[in-house]
């Protein structure tokens, strides 16, 4: 039987106060083969963020913790997890930590997966950090005297990565600045292999550059048209990639992360630009 989240950190506190160090073989909690496939769905004025967590059959440990690290000012309206998992939102070191943990026997074993992790928020998608941890017995003695155990990552002895999650929307909204944000997301998505390759990326850049030129001229409707063309390209390639998971060997692809990130931010930009046109009438 494993610890609950609070019991886990209480145990670490006890370890830190223990004077005697017991020699042992320390097993880090990063021996999982963790993959994460997010999806985002619009439900009314809310966005539902779902996460498919998979632990490859070659993993040496089961997954018993999954966390997202978000802005401390972000509002999460609801959170769900698989049966048998605890879930909570906590402020930790100036961040909002969305936590899921399996205190019992509900781990994601090697070869297993679950798509029942989700959160709801009104915020648009951005790039956020996740943390995942495999199960192994806690080391005995002073944990902080064991090199590269608890400080193996900024969050503990597991693994970290990047995924799509809610971020605070810009306030105030400035169209040109948000267009730059969308372009930056495109470049970051390309660096993370969520979107590729060069010819396709250049086509996306061209549409955003054209939208930027139209905004500079005060032609809001024409700028919307170019962002919509950008969006159509993303949607077209995402559908092709979904049908062919080996699409990365081709010249164009959009993963679930790239699709969620770019689609919903492009739609947010279009919505705000349309509001500006309505206000001028």
Domain spans of the chain, in order of start: 5-166, 175-280
| Nearest alpha carbon to residue 136 among 39, 263, 2 | 2
The residue length of the chain stands at 281
Check whether the bond before 197 is cis (ω within 30° of 0): yes
CA dist 279 and 281 (Å) reads 6
pLDDT tens for the chain, 281 residues: list them: 565 554 554 444 444 333 333 345 788 999 999 999 999 999 999 999 999 999 999 999 999 999 999 999 999 999 999 999 999 999 988 899 999 999 988 999 999 999 999 999 999 999 999 999 999 988 876 656 677 788 889 999 999 999 999 999 899 999 999 999 999 999 999 999 999 988 999 999 999 999 999 999 999 999 999 999 999 999 999 998 887 765 555 668 899 999 999 999 999 999 999 999 998 86
**How far is CA 1 from each of CA 22, 63, 82, 243, rounded to the nearest angstrom?**
22, 14, 18, 41
CATH of domain 5-166: 2.60.40.290
What's the pLDDT score for residue 25? 73
Structure tokens at 227: 């962002």
What's the pLDDT score for residue 280? 81
| Nearest alpha carbon to residue 136 among 44, 47, 24 | 24
CA dist 169 and 174 (Å) reads 11
Beta-carbon contacts of residue 171 (< 8 Å; ≥ 6 apart): none
b (16+ CB within 10 A) / e for 118-150: bbbbebbbbbbbbbbbbbbebbebebeebeebb
β-strand partners of 165: 126
CA dist 174 and 192 (Å) reads 27
């Amino acid at each position: 039987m494993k610890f609950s989240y609070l019991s886990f950190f209480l145990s670490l506190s006890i370890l830190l106060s223990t004077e005697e160090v017991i020699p042992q073989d320390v097993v880090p909690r990063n021996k999982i083969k963790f993959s994460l496939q997010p999806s985002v769905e619009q439900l009314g004025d809310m966005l539902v963020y779902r996460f498919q967590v998979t632990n490859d059959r070659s993993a040496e440990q089961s997954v018993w913790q999954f966390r997202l690290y978000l802005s401390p000012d972000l509002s999460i309206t609801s959170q769900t997890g698989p049966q048998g998992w605890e879930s909570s939102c906590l402020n930790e070191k100036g961040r909002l930590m969305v936590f899921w943990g399996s205190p019992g026997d509900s781990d994601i074993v090697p070869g297993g997966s679950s798509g029942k992790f989700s959160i709801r928020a009104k915020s648009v998608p951005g790039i956020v950090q996740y943390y995942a941890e495999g199960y192994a017995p806690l080391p005995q003695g002073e944990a902080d005297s064991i090199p590269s155990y608890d400080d193996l990552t900024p969050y503990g002895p597991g693994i970290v990565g990047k995924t799509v999650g809610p971020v605070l929307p810009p306030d105030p909204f400035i169209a040109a600045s948000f267009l730059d944000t969308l372009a930056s997301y495109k470049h970051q998505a390309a660096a993370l292999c969520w979107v590729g390759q060069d010819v396709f990326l250049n086509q996306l850049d061209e549409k955003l550059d054209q939208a930027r030129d139209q905004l500079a001229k005060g032609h809001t409707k024409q700028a919307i048209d170019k962002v919509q063309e950008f969006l159509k390209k993303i949607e077209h390639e995402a559908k092709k990639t979904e049908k062919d998971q080996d699409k990365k060997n081709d010249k164009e692809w959009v993963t679930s992360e790239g699709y969620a990130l770019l689609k919903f931010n492009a739609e947010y930009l279009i919505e705000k630009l349309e509001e500006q046109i309505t206000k001028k009438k």
